[in-house]
Amino acid sequence: MSESSATRLNVFKTYKLYVGGKFPRSESGRVYEVSDSKGKWLANAPLSSRKDARDAVVAARKAFGGWSGATAYNRGQILYRIAEMLEGRREQFVREVGEAEGLSKSKAGAVVDAAIDRWVWYAGWTDKIGQIVGGANPVAGPFFNLSTPEPTGVVTVIAPQDSSFLGLVSVIAPVIATGNTVVVIASEKSPLPALSLGEVLATSDLPGGVVNILSGKAGEMGPHLASHQDVNAIDLAGADPVLAKELEIAAADNLKRVLRPQPVDDWSADPGMSRMTAFLETKTVWHPTGSLGAGGSSY
């Protein structure tokens, strides 16, 4: 029998986590079934453990120095490159988003196009946000005073549950655009677009560890990440009210920033600066002028 006439078996995709620029399976070996909007099985996704979450934080912290120290222009180039790579794999994401959210091909295509455009939008802001939220401050005395934004550090994000791709991009892109690194817990019911995004990030010049993507239960990993001493902030976008309260309490001892979930998030609305400024700190430098000399101080 010739190869062309034989019945061909589909090659099923094995979805993996994205941690430190690599694609590990969950260290626990656990998986869970992911179904489409009609209950049809799509794939087995890794069920991440707390050890996976710890590994992701280690990777994010390791990558933070290089990413935050890169020029804003370079970060913008890389975010734009992500959009380029997504454009080349558009059909795959249209299929995955359509299956995840029960959308027609045309509607799923509109969602994917909006997500690609969102990467471009945030890419354009990387070298402008500092000029908007920083600046020279008026001082009554022989000093001049400059304020500049700096990234907070390692940010944990609970991704939206009902927007598997556009919402996901809307919470990742602004965090890394400003120089932070991120550990993302993907939508539990629709993690496949997020796990596929890891494959795009790995081929888009983004340094390993800047974005780390976990799939599984936010209720299992979230409290551990919220209380982790090396996590600096958390975005509760995809947490339900009960989990959000639990994570906010867990974060109280050591996190600088908690971005609370909004009553209604319209991920299709035009993005603003709020998700960029939410994870920025302000550094202020005082510098004497005139006869006081050339010394200076900052806080």
The answer as to whether 6 is a domain residue is no
The answer as to whether 16 is a domain residue is no
Calculate ∠ Cα 95-100-103, nearest 5°: 70
The Cβ of residue 115 has, within 10 Å, a number of other Cβ atoms equal to 25
The answer as to whether 17 is a domain residue is no
The answer as to whether 151 is a domain residue is yes
Residue tagged 């694609």 (tokens):
23
Cα–Cα distance measured from residue 55 to residue 70, given in angstroms and rounded to the nearest whole number: 23
The answer as to whether 192 is a domain residue is yes
Domain ranges, residue 72: 31-298
Cα–Cα distance measured from residue 63 to residue 12, given in angstroms and rounded to the nearest whole number: 32
Cα–Cα distance measured from residue 97 to residue 192, given in angstroms and rounded to the nearest whole number: 8
What average pLDDT does this structure show over 278-298?
Answer: 70
Residue 1 has what pLDDT? 47
Q: Which tokens hold the place of 41?
A: 């099985």
| CATH number of the domain that residue 124 is part of | 3.40.605.10
What average pLDDT does this structure show over 50-68?
Answer: 97
Residue 7 has what pLDDT? 85
The answer as to whether 18 is a domain residue is no
What are the tens digits of pLDDT across the range 9-28? 788 889 999 999 999 999 88
Domain count across the chain: 1
Residue 77 has what pLDDT? 97
CA distances from 119 to 40, 45, 78, 93, 102 (A): 31, 25, 10, 15, 24
Residues 6+ apart with CB under 8 A from 51: 27, 28
The answer as to whether 241 is a domain residue is yes
What are the tens digits of pLDDT across the range 195-235? 999 999 999 999 999 999 999 999 999 999 999 999 999 99
Report the b/e string of 58-89 with b at 16+ CB within 10 A: bbbbebbeebbebebeebbebbbbbbebbeeb
What average pLDDT does this structure show over 112-120?
Answer: 97
Instruction: Specify whether the CB–CB gap between 150 and 297 falls below 8 A.
Output: no
**pTM for the predicted model, two decimal places:** 0.90
Pairing of strands 41-46, 31-35: antiparallel
What are the tens digits of pLDDT across the range 235-281? 999 999 999 999 999 999 888 899 998 876 789 888 889 999 999 99
The answer as to whether 1 is a domain residue is no
